[in-house]
Amino acid sequence: MQYRQLGGSGLEVSALTLGTMNFGEQVDSTAAFDLLDVALANGINCFDTAESYASPMREATQGASERILGQWLQRVPREKVLIASKVSGPAAKLRYLRGGPQLIRQQIRDAVFASLERLGIDCLDLYQVHWPARSTNYFGRLGYSARDDGGATPILHTLESLAELRADGHVRHLGVSNETPWGVMHYLALAERHGLPRIASVQNPYSLLNRVLEVGLSEVFDREELGLMAYAPLCDGVLSGKHRHGDSPSVSRLARWPAYYNRYTGDAVASVVERYCTLAEDNALAPADMALAWVLSRPEVSTAVIGVSCEVQLLQNVQAAERVLAPAVRKAIGRIHAEYPNPCP
């Protein structure tokens, strides 16, 4: 397993991070413990969760992923692992969470203390803003237009609140997720202007089907010493090929919750996925291996956040993390992307 610097944080993260959003819904605690044990045994040292997980997000399972991860952490030396979690931004469907989550001081404090209690630890290695408070484009939204932010919490207030948690020793490093180039640069500018801690990482989607961050964020990662935690590198399993020809496994997320996990579906997407899968197979590669190895080959990426539901998937991902793609395969990927750019932004 490779280890890489997470931006300027000084943290050395494994090339793969095990995401836990499946824990507490698709994966029960017994299966989760086994997956966590196998991940650690294979060199994965970073584990990512959020106060809103399990996913799909609903009141009955809110916090379940953190609780399961916390139970496992009681069996593991704390210094062997890096734990990342997230505080929710505003969302109408999360009214059950503090009456509607807001990125204000008291709510952030309540959120982090609740997460720490569920995890059974006294400090998070990385604490991330899950999505912005302001109106902007994320989760695949296109067609930006000027919007009235209304009572959206200013980024400065959020950053000051996070800085207070860091100063008190509750979190070591700060990050953002589902952010835009403007948002990332605003966090950095405010940190410099007000003497506040810099964010260390950005957790955004990045895959063969979604390379939009290369337009603006790649330069930010390079020039500002930030680490990319690339989530959905296999696009909810679509790039593994297991959903080809409409033949989704009945236990998969796409089969069980099609309305929730529809970001990487549709006839147009299926055509592009078929091209990538065929390319992989023509070169004696598993489609998932090729897709994940490509993400990990990109200079922006500090770690790829994987979500698995069984040990076979996990070990396949570990194997893919060690693969180096041939130049001819990389060039062919570039040709497909030029013909079908970013079908799933």
Domains of the chain: 3-237+298-325 (3.20.20.100)
Q: Is 6:227 a contact under the CB 8 Å cutoff?
A: yes
Q: What integer pLDDT is reported at residue 325 of this predicted model?
A: 98
Mean pLDDT over the full length of the chain: 95
Q: Which of 53, 187, 231, 261 is catalytic?
A: 53
For residue 304, list its beta bridge partners: 16, 230
Tokens 């997407």 locate to 269
Q: Which residue did the predictor score with more confidence, 282 or 248? A: 282
**pLDDT tier, 252 (very low <50, low <70, confident <90, very high otherwise):** confident
List pLDDT tens digits, range 275-301.
Answer: 999 999 999 999 999 999 999 999 999
The CA-atom distances, in angstroms, between 125 and each of 46, 137, 190, 195 are 9, 28, 22, 21
Whole-number Å distance between alpha carbons of 344 and 329: 21
pTM, whole model, 2 decimals? 0.96
**pLDDT tier, 248 (very low <50, low <70, confident <90, very high otherwise):** confident
DSSP string, 103-152: -SHHHHHHHHHHHHHHHT-S-EEEEEE-S-SSS---TT---------TTP
- The amino acid present at 184, given as its one-letter code, is V
Residue 255 has pLDDT above 80, yes or no: no
Query: Cα angle at 138 between 135 and 142, to 5 degrees?
Result: 90
List pLDDT tens digits, range 20-76.
Answer: 999 999 999 999 999 999 999 999 999 999 999 999 999 999 999 999 999 999 999
Q: What integer pLDDT is reported at residue 144 of this predicted model?
A: 87
Q: Is 252:242 a contact under the CB 8 Å cutoff?
A: yes
Residue 180 has pLDDT above 90, yes or no: yes
How far from chain centre, in Å, is Cα 197? 22
For residue 227, list its beta bridge partners: 201
How far from chain centre, in Å, is Cα 177? 7
Instruction: Give mean pLDDT, residues 159-164.
Output: 98
Residue 299 DSSP code: T
Residue 31 backbone dihedrals phi, psi, to 5 degrees: -65, -35
Q: Is 56:92 a contact under the CB 8 Å cutoff?
A: no
Q: What integer pLDDT is reported at residue 150 of this predicted model?
A: 73
List pLDDT tens digits, range 86-107.
Answer: 999 999 999 999 999 999 999 9
Residue 261 has pLDDT above 90, yes or no: no
Query: Any catalytic annotation for residue 53?
Result: yes
Q: What integer pLDDT is reported at residue 245 of this predicted model?
A: 77
For residue 82, list its beta bridge partners: 46
How far from chain centre, in Å, is Cα 292? 14
